Every structure is written in structure tokens, then in C-alpha cells.
Structure 1
């Protein structure tokens, strides 16, 4: 599959400064890239990202391969099948909540983004922490606060030469 024979829109190239970036959206090709020998494909990183982000998303090469081998068993089909009751319970509760919002005409307007965010949080709480979202809410809140602090701290970092301002004059 690495012969480049992709359909329209499945693969594109862009430039980040003088570095080329390949954007892949074909699931088969993404899987092949992720399973390819480490060291052949690099993900773009920023100079300060290593200070904040660790684990599978931040590592590359052999370290990435080691992290992936450690995490892979958690996503085997048998393990995921054991999580099905939690997935089902979370979805059932979501649908019940939505049904209560229906008006007399059987419809309502709903912003699904926060609803799906809550669904994701609930599923993670039940499968990772063994509790409902209500019980795991404090852990999730702490993680969200930590993420916000990391984002805010990026704004405080000033590395000489990292940000270059160019002023153009048109004559």
C-alpha cells in the first residue's frame, strides 16, 4: 500500500516552513504507517511539547514502539467486549436524557458537542475508574484543569527565535 496509489483527498502534502508535512486520512494507510517499523515516520513536535506531553503521543522511534507494545493489550477485542456493558449503560442514559428534552411535537434543539463530551467522560470514568461519571467527576475536573494550565503556560513561554515576527512593507 505504500506505493502512493490513493484516492482523491486521502493523502495531501503541505509545508510547515521548510519542512514537508504529509496528511493521511485513509484508515488503512494510517494503520499501516502506525504498524511500520519505528523511525521511518516522524510526527511534528514543538520545542516545548516535550516539557508537557509524555507517553505514546509524544514519543517516537523505539521508545514509541515500547509504549505501543505496553498499551496494545488494553485494546484487544476481548478486553473491549468486557467494556460493552459500560458503553451500553452510558448510551442508554444519554438517550433517556435526550428523550426528556423532547417537546410536545417530538423534537428539540440540542447542542450535541457538550453531550458527546459528557458521554466520553462517563465512558472513561466507568471503564478506567470503575465508577459512574458522577463519582469520577473530580478526577475528570482535575484533568481538565491540568490541561487548561498547560495551555495557559504555553502562552507564557518565550523562547528566543522560536517566534519570528516579520513586518512587510509594500512600496
Structure 2
């Protein structure tokens, strides 16, 4: 009877270890893929283990935020390009008429102020994105370390169980 209970306990421990190890390995691979390929569209699959599921959701949310920040920065870049193209058109028209040129120089000056302000906003947005990316990178490194430590602990338990089984 004791032997049967022992076998059941070992099988249960191996099942639990596998149910944690497989999702962790999947998460690690996804994190490495995002890091190596710079592909923010990758997502971590959800797990039936609550803590792993929370980690997967947090990582996926972080990737969504990064994509949003990059899209916002791209939109600001398009807006800046459009504003610059408008300034060129105004300057070309201004050169044909002397009186209009004076008015357009004033307009260009205002546009330059707006452009400077827009560039300042772009710089702030990019700085914020870099800070967030650095923070996320650190968090990912810390998460990776925790996952690695967890895997090592699980492997240690597995080795102990194998030794105990033998």
C-alpha cells in the first residue's frame, strides 16, 4: 500500500513539475524570440497555472504598450514630415511676390515655432519610449532570471525525485 501511495505521489510531483516547466519554457522561448527578432507582435500563450498566466498577461500587455508607443512615435514623425512639406510649399510661393514673401516669412516663423514644439514633443515621446523600453528590458531580464531560477529549482526537485525513485 505504501509503495502504491509512493508511486502516486511521484507521478503527481512529476505531473506538477511538467505542468510548470512546459509553460515556463514556452515563455522563455517567446521572450528570447522577442529579444532576438525585435518582433513585438509575438505573444506568450496563456497557462493554466495562475501565476504563469498572470506573467504571460503582463508580458503581452507590455508588448502591446510598446507597439502603441512606437505607432505614436511614427504618427508624430508623419505629422512632422507633413508640416515640413507645407513649410516648403509656403516658402516657394513666397519667393514669387515680395509682399507675400514678408507675410509668408512670418507664417514660416510661426510654423517653425510649432515645429520646434512638435520636435520637443517627439523628443519627449522618444525619451519616454526609451525609458519604458529600458525599464521593460530590465523587467524582462529580471523575469528571465526568476524563470531560470524556477527551472533550476524544478530540475533540482526532479533530480531528487529521480534519486529517490532509484
More helix by share: 2
Rg comparison, structure with higher value = 2
Same fold at TM > 0.5: no
More strand by share: 1
How would you bin the TM-score normalised by the shorter chain?
under 0.3
TM-score, with length taken from structure 2: 0.24
